[in-house]
Amino acid sequence: MSFLAPLFLAGLAALAIPVLLHLIQREKKQIVHFPSLMFVRKIPYKSVQRRRIHNWLLLAIRLAALLLIVAAFARPFFSAATQAAVPGTGARELVVLLDQSLSMGYGDRWDRARAAAREALSALGSSDRGSVVLFSSSAEIAVRSSAEQNRLQGAIPSTPPTAGGTRYAPALKVAGSILGESTLPRREVVLISDFQRGGWRGEEGAKLPVGATLTPVSVAGPTVQPNLAVTSLSMARSTFSNQERVTVTAALVNRSDAAASAVPVALEFGGRAVQTETIDLPANGTASVSFMPVTVTGDFMRGTVRVANDGLSLDNTFAFVLSPSQPVRVVLVDRGGNTALYLTRVLGVGESPRYETVVRGPDEVSDQDLQRSAVVVLNDVPVSTGLARRLQRFVEAGGGLFMAAGPRAAWPAEGDILPATLLGPVDRSRGDAARIGTLELGHPVFEIFRAPRSGDFSSVRVYGYRTVTPTADAQVLARFDGGAPALVERRVGTGRVLLWATGLDLAWSDLPIKPVFLPFVHRSMQHLAAWREPSPWMSVGQVLDTDVTSRAIAQPGAKVALTPSGKRLALEDEGSPVLELAEQGFYEIRRQARSGGDTEAAVVASNPDPAESDLTAMDPRDIVLATAADTGGAQGAAPTVPLTPEAREKQQRVWWYLLCVGVLLLGADTVLSNRLGKA
């Protein structure tokens, strides 16, 4: 015999209590009132006869009761009773994996899948237990190891499939964990799905326990109904009559074997169709349709491209959000003349993003200029102490500073935020001009030049530059051919500073007339302004950083998210609140005001993964073979499932009988002790 909790056997020390109670008897006293006992010596009464055990039966009953109760808590079981169980006999643990991804909405697949799940659960016996796991890109346990048919049947959702993608590995891992904790001899998994090929990537970690069986139930069938989908959009922005306009082009795909002709494709804003085009789609082919330009009239315009419903309607709509493009505001500090000619022209031709440039003298930069701007460019000018202090506060608060260190550039000792110390000039006008030798192509400023024939900095001739000594926390991004730093970066607070060791005019180099000048300046401004092109839409399953999305709302109050289905999700204020997009449509990020009500902060469009529209099925046997546990290569004999000590103890339930007998003995002890006491 073995014990599941042997530490409880320490309670056997309590067996000494009845023995002591039988050996120690109190002296019977009869109180006699006496004036004083202070002069009387007490003589202890000793009796050897009283130290003998008279009621051996009562002692045995008490010892047996305590022994049985302690043994019951130790959970005994017989090791040799049942070493292993053969699959096919005894109670079973059943896990039903029900696929509720987007592809299950094609035709009647979802109805047939739910019917198959109900049939599998209905076959459970009274001693069986079942679990229901719903999965798409992730897995969720609806009911875990229950024998109640009402709970199991109620866990099958009546709502349509979700907009999530198909991933089998998370669901199989959850099933493996449920079966691994089960003590029943039979362990089975029923996987109900259309077995979309893109949902299985051969994950090795999705293994089931030894002896567990996987039964695939496929609801896939021939794709006889049309299956059209909108996979993506492209947007071209332009300006007409000082108004920003966007041309929307939709990409469509036909996933069926039959061609589709005269398919209506509608562009909607605010739920109303503004334009409808017809298009022909070949069998298993693609096409695109462009709509007339739309004027952007405000923030977060909700747009939708819609195709007529077919066999899979969830991928027939594509949601997006339009907002006016926000320009990058730049303050160009220049000493006057034509020194800023090339910079202003380069910043005036940007479209994505646009640049709004304001030219100021060194003594004309106001606090309002700094508040409205994202980047300040010092074009070969000396900086006063007051301006240096204000620029330091500007950078620490998240602004960007670009300093072109020409022959007149200077920086005071106070407010030192430069990534390097400015030293004397190096004149290369009388000899061979310096060249740009090495670049950090992994940095955002130079990443655009990584591709072949994307720009050649080595062709830039530098006739003069400043010697600089980088600080300890600075990063050298470019060097001259002699090894001297050419571009140095430093992070100060939440902002950045770039120091270009030569000028941005034709005085010291011919960089302004080289093809690399425009992308170099644009990427530097974007990097310093931390500019990212806003995405008109996101995909289901992605995580949204609501702090970045709702940065425009500054009122105090907690943030909430309104899902496309109307649910309100509270977002944590601490840290960086994130939201996982699980539905298709428009999410609203709102700020709760103290006075009551909500203020709309941002709108985010969420669309399904385009790969989910591909209904090509895989062979379910691939998953069965990949998830089978390694049995060491044994062949022929039916696999056996070794029972754990917990399973053996639970089957035998010896503790229950011991506890019952112990309680009965305690009752007998009470009756017997009362009779002996009266005697």
- At 595, the pLDDT band (50, 70, 90 cuts) reads low
Share of the chain above pLDDT 90, in %: 44
Q: Which residue has the higher pLDDT, 69 or 529?
A: 529
Residues near 341 by Cβ (< 8 Å), separated by ≥ 6? Answer: 505
- At 594, the pLDDT band (50, 70, 90 cuts) reads low
Which amino acid would we find at residue 7?
Answer: L
pLDDT in tens, 125-139: 888 999 999 999 899
Which amino acid would we find at residue 493?
Answer: G
Residue 663 has pLDDT above 70, yes or no: yes
From 466, 464, 461, select the one nearest 418 (Cα to Cα).
466
Residue 652 has pLDDT above 80, yes or no: no
Which amino acid would we find at residue 37?
Answer: L
Residue 262: Cβ-neighbour burial (10 angstroms; 0-12, 13-18, 19+): exposed
pLDDT in tens, 433-457: 899 989 999 999 999 998 888 888 9
pLDDT of residue 666: 83
Residue 429 has pLDDT above 60, yes or no: yes
The two beta strands, 475-480 and 213-218, are unpaired
Residues near 383 by Cβ (< 8 Å), separated by ≥ 6? Answer: 362, 391, 410, 411, 412
Residue 602 has pLDDT above 90, yes or no: no
Measured between alpha carbons, how far is residue 436 from residues 408, 487, 520 in Å?
Answer: 22, 10, 13
Q: Which residue has the higher pLDDT, 395 or 574?
A: 395
Segment 46-72 shows an average pLDDT of 72
Q: Which residue has the higher pLDDT, 136 or 311?
A: 136
Whole-number Å distance between alpha carbons of 250 and 300: 19
Q: Which residue has the higher pLDDT, 523 or 28?
A: 523
Q: What is the mean pLDDT of the chain?
A: 84
Residue 84 has pLDDT above 70, yes or no: no
- At 57, the pLDDT band (50, 70, 90 cuts) reads confident
Segment 145-164 shows an average pLDDT of 91
- At 632, the pLDDT band (50, 70, 90 cuts) reads very low
CB 462 within 8 A of CB 480: yes
Residue 651 has pLDDT above 80, yes or no: no
Q: Name the maximum alpha-carbon separation found in the chain.
A: 132
pLDDT in tens, 234-246: 988 888 887 889 9
pLDDT in tens, 519-544: 999 999 999 998 887 789 999 988 88
- At 554, the pLDDT band (50, 70, 90 cuts) reads very low
Segment 138-154 shows an average pLDDT of 92
pLDDT of residue 76: 82
- At 414, the pLDDT band (50, 70, 90 cuts) reads low
Residue ranges and CATH numbers for the domains of the chain are 2-81+651-678 (no CATH), 86-223+620-642 (3.40.50.410), 228-310 (2.60.40.10), 328-528 (3.40.50.880), 538-610 (2.60.40)
The two beta strands, 598-607 and 538-539, are parallel
Segment 22-27 shows an average pLDDT of 58
Full 3-state SS string of 336-398: CCCCCHHHHHHHCCCCCCCEEEEEECCCCCCHHHHHHCCEEEEECCECCHHHHHHHHHHHHCC
